Amino acid sequence: MNVRKEDLIYVGIDLHKETHTAVILDCWNTKLGEITFANTPAEFPKLIRKVKKYCTENKQAVYGLENAYGYGRSLAVWLLEKNFIVKDVNTSLSHRQAKRRAMYKKSDSDDAQAIALATINMLEELPDACPNDAYWSLGQLVNRRDNIMRHIIRLRNQLHEQVCVAYPSYKQFFTDIGSPTALYFWNQYPSEKYLRGRTVEDLKEELIVVSHNQCSTNRCQKILEVVEMDRTEEKEYQDSRDVITRGLVKDLQHYKGQLKEIDRELENMYHSLGGTLTTIPGVSTTTAVKLLAEIGDINRFGSAAKLAKFAGIAPLRLSSAGKGKDKASKQGNRRLQATLYFLSIQMIQTSSKGTPRNPVFREYYEKRIAEGKNPKQVLICISRRLVNIIYGMLKNQTEYRMKEIRQDRENQ
């Protein structure tokens, strides 16, 4: 922005489901006004009228929204349609401003003022709010997928709790308790009494279709042998627990179907956005859409450095008397930060044969470790390099090109 801070009025907005609270400051941090209004488009003009009172001498208003993609998305879209400047303020930045203020109290007013202060102090670094429908929808799909995965993990644990009582050694014939064949089996045979009288041929004929010809005679024979070996006296109230097992199976089948549907839609959206991130070794479509959902429109970041600050992975150099170390920032988008850190671990992994997934990053990692760096410090640096790569790929819509390692060490 090529505007002097003195020519701007800063509006920090604390966003909630039902209402929003806005605090208006000038460039000297003086509080000019405050307003609380309902989170409905019909109420948004009240905010504009309130702010307009302080926009004297042709001053321009800048609106700082904490998470412009959640409860504040409707307001962000409305303000942008009116050609106002809207900044996306990360929660950690406003929290830091709040802690610096004397006599801070946890209230909507104080939170809104902290957001306004963050907007003043970091105006150039803050990304523009860009609640693009495509990236917002992508984020909703990613959140939905994460919720489904949590349900699946919870249900698998509950199913294990039931199955391990009915079939103590079930892992000898089903290593994956949630595979389609295993779920069919638990539904048909929630406890061993339902298997009585079943032969190997009977079981194979039943499971061969469900397993797509993967369930062999040996597998079926193993099931019956293990069940016979573990057979004990019939436990009380097993019929009641069988109802639980069958219910858990149905829930798991439902969520697995939902997961497939979400993954198909994520794949379609990824390609519709011209995604190229999957050309990076180790980056799946799931990882790519997580990155895109948090980054949004890359054009809201003027440089890779601004994207790094937004992610909170720009290494902080802590030093004294010529000695120091790199440390991860506690600010920034935590979800994006975690995804990039996980990706940096992927970059340095090697196969069972010792082949590195990404030779360039593996060589860099080993070099820095040999210099005495802490592994976590090196991963922070790799995350920062990944930001440069991802920024360039998204900005220019290019595929990943592996850098060639110089072969000049024959005599070393």
Looking at residue 215, its pLDDT comes to 87
Contacts of 116 (CB under 8 A, 6+ apart): 10, 11, 12, 23, 24, 25, 64
What pLDDT, in 10s, does the model give residues 323-342?
A: 666 555 666 788 999 999 99
Diameter over CA atoms, the chain: 91
409 has a pLDDT exceeding 50: no
In this predicted structure, which of 113-117, 127-131, 365-369 has the lowest mean pLDDT?
A: 127-131
Count the helix, strand and coil residues of the chain and give each as a percent rounded to the nearest 5.
55, 10, 35
Please name the amino acid found at residue 201.
Answer: E
How confident is residue 99, by pLDDT bands cut at 50, 70 and 90? low
Taking alpha carbons only, the member of 277, 392, 400 closest to residue 339 is 277
What pLDDT, in 10s, does the model give residues 228-269?
A: 998 867 778 889 999 999 999 999 999 999 999 999 999 999
Quick one: how far is CA 151 from the chain centroid?
16
Enumerate the H helices of 211-358 as residue ranges: 217-230, 238-272, 285-295, 304-311, 334-348
What does the alpha-carbon distance between residue 154 and residue 139 come to, in Å, rounded to a whole number? 23
Question: What pTM did the predictor assign?
Answer: 0.79
Looking at residue 318, its pLDDT comes to 59
Enumerate the H helices of 167-237 as residue ranges: 180-188, 200-210, 217-230
Contact 341, 274 (CB under 8 A): no
How confident is residue 144, by pLDDT bands cut at 50, 70 and 90? very high
Long-range contacts of 197-206 (CB under 8 A, 24+ apart): 198/224, 200/224
Give the number of other CB atoms < 10 A from CB of residue 386.
Answer: 24
How confident is residue 96, by pLDDT bands cut at 50, 70 and 90? confident
Going by the DSSP 8-state scheme, the letter that residue 302 receives in this structure is: S
Looking at residue 315, its pLDDT comes to 60
Contact 89, 117 (CB under 8 A): no
What pLDDT, in 10s, does the model give residues 269-328?
A: 999 998 899 999 889 999 999 999 999 989 888 899 989 988 888 766 655 656 666 555
61 has a pLDDT exceeding 90: yes
Contacts of 185 (CB under 8 A, 6+ apart): 174, 207, 223
Looking at residue 133, its pLDDT comes to 83
Quick one: how far is CA 61 from the chain centroid?
32
Contact 326, 380 (CB under 8 A): yes
The pLDDT of 87-96, averaged and rounded, is 81
What does the alpha-carbon distance between residue 209 and residue 273 come to, in Å, rounded to a whole number? 39
What does the alpha-carbon distance between residue 100 and residue 226 come to, in Å, rounded to a whole number? 65
The pLDDT of 199-208, averaged and rounded, is 92
Looking at residue 317, its pLDDT comes to 61
**Helix (H) or strand (E) segment spanning residue 12:** strand 8-15
The pLDDT of 55-65, averaged and rounded, is 91
Contact 89, 114 (CB under 8 A): no
What does the alpha-carbon distance between residue 396 and residue 388 come to, in Å, rounded to a whole number? 12
Nearest 5°: phi and psi at 64?
A: -105, 120
How confident is residue 411, by pLDDT bands cut at 50, 70 and 90? very low
The pLDDT of 217-230, averaged and rounded, is 92
84 has a pLDDT exceeding 90: yes
Looking at residue 321, its pLDDT comes to 59
Looking at residue 412, its pLDDT comes to 41
Q: What would the two tokens of residue 75 be?
A: 């307001």
Contact 400, 382 (CB under 8 A): no
Q: What would the two tokens of residue 151 be?
A: 């349900």
The pLDDT of 141-148, averaged and rounded, is 96
In order of 20, 35, 44, 61, 384, the CA distances from 49 in angstroms are: 15, 10, 9, 12, 43
Contact 109, 102 (CB under 8 A): no
Q: Which domains, from first to last, does the chain contain? A: 5-131 (3.30.420.10), 137-268 (1.10.287.4070), 277-396 (no CATH)
Mean pLDDT, the chain, as a whole number? 88
What does the alpha-carbon distance between residue 46 and residue 43 come to, in Å, rounded to a whole number? 6
Taking alpha carbons only, the member of 277, 309, 310, 276 closest to residue 295 is 310
383 has a pLDDT exceeding 80: yes
The pLDDT of 142-162, averaged and rounded, is 96
Contact 11, 24 (CB under 8 A): yes
